[in-house]
Chain A
C-alpha cells in the first residue's frame, strides 16, 4: 500500500506541460513497449531455429500490413529509448543539467529518434519493403 505518511511529490496535473516531462514519460512508455516487443526478437529466433517453413511463416507475419505498422512503431520506440537513454547516461555523469541544456537535449532525443526511424525505413523502402 502507498504509505501516505511520507511526503509525496505534487500530482502531475498541476505542472505546465514541458518537453522534459514528456521525454521522461515517453522514455518509460517506450521501455514498456520494447519489453513487450521483445516477443518479436524471441519469436524471430525461435522460428528461424524451427526450420524453413516456420521462418517463412514468420516473415509473412512481419511483412503483413499489421506487422509493418508494429515494426515501424517498434523501431521508433527502440530509437527513442536509445537516444534518450544516451541522454540519461550523459546526465548521470553530471553533465547537461542547466535548464536550457536540459530542454535542448530533450528535443535532440525526439529529433534523433525520428531521424533514425525515417533513415532506416527509407533504406527498407528503397530496398523493396520489409521481409
Chain B
C-alpha cells in the first residue's frame, strides 16, 4: 500500500482520531481531586485519631454523647466521605495499573465505587442516627 492510498482512504482530520483518546480525558481532575482529598485527610485523619484516643475505655453513653456533639458529628461525616472518595481514587489507579483483563478491570472499577458509596452512606446514616437520637 502506497502512502497515497492511505491518504485517500482516511479523509478524517487527524484531530478526529486523537480526540477522546490518550491523555486528553479526565486525568488532571482525578490527580487534583486525589491531592485535595489527601490534604483534607491530613487534618481530618489526625482529628479522627485524637478523637478515638480520647474515647479510649469510653462506655456506650460517653461514646454516644461524644459522636452526637455537633462538631464531632460534622467532622466525622466529613472524614468518612473524604476517606471513601480518596480510597476510590487510589484503588482506581491500582486496578488500572495491575488488572490487564478488560472485563475484570471494569467489574473491579465499578465494584469499588458501589462498595465505597454503600460504606459512606452507612456511615453517614449511623452518625445521623446517633446525632439525632436524644
Would you call A2 an interface residue if the criterion is a C-beta within 8 Å of the partner chain's C-beta atoms?
yes
Count chain B residues whose beta carbon lies closer than 8 angstroms to a beta carbon of A.
36
Q: Contacts of B126 on A, CB cut-off 8 Å?
A: 42, 45-46, 48-49
The count of A-to-B residue pairs whose CB atoms sit within 8 angstroms is 88
Task: Choose among A31, A34, A42, A130 the residue with the greatest number of B CB atoms under 10 Å from its CB.
Answer: A42
Q: Contacts of A124 on B, CB cut-off 8 Å?
A: 53, 56
Q: What DSSP secondary structure best describes chain A's contact surface?
A: helix
* Pairwise interchain contact A48-B94, C-beta atoms closer than 8 A: no
Contact residues on A (Cβ < 8 Å of other chain), bracket: 20 to 34
* Pairwise interchain contact A28-B42, C-beta atoms closer than 8 A: no
B77: nearest chain-A partner, CB-CB: A45
B-side interface residues toward A, CB under 8 Å? 35, 38-39, 41-42, 45-46, 49, 53, 56-57, 60-61, 63-64, 67, 76, 80, 83-84, 87, 90-91, 94, 100-102, 112, 119, 122-123, 125-127, 129-130
A-side interface residues toward B, CB under 8 Å? 1-2, 28, 31-32, 34-35, 38-39, 41-42, 45-46, 48-49, 51-52, 55-56, 75, 78, 82, 85-86, 88-89, 92, 120, 123-124, 127-128, 130-131
17 contacts between A and B (CB under 8 A): A1-B101, A28-B90, A31-B87, A35-B87, A45-B76, A46-B123, A48-B60, A48-B63, A49-B125, A51-B60, A55-B60, A78-B45, A82-B42, A86-B42, A88-B38, A89-B38, A92-B35
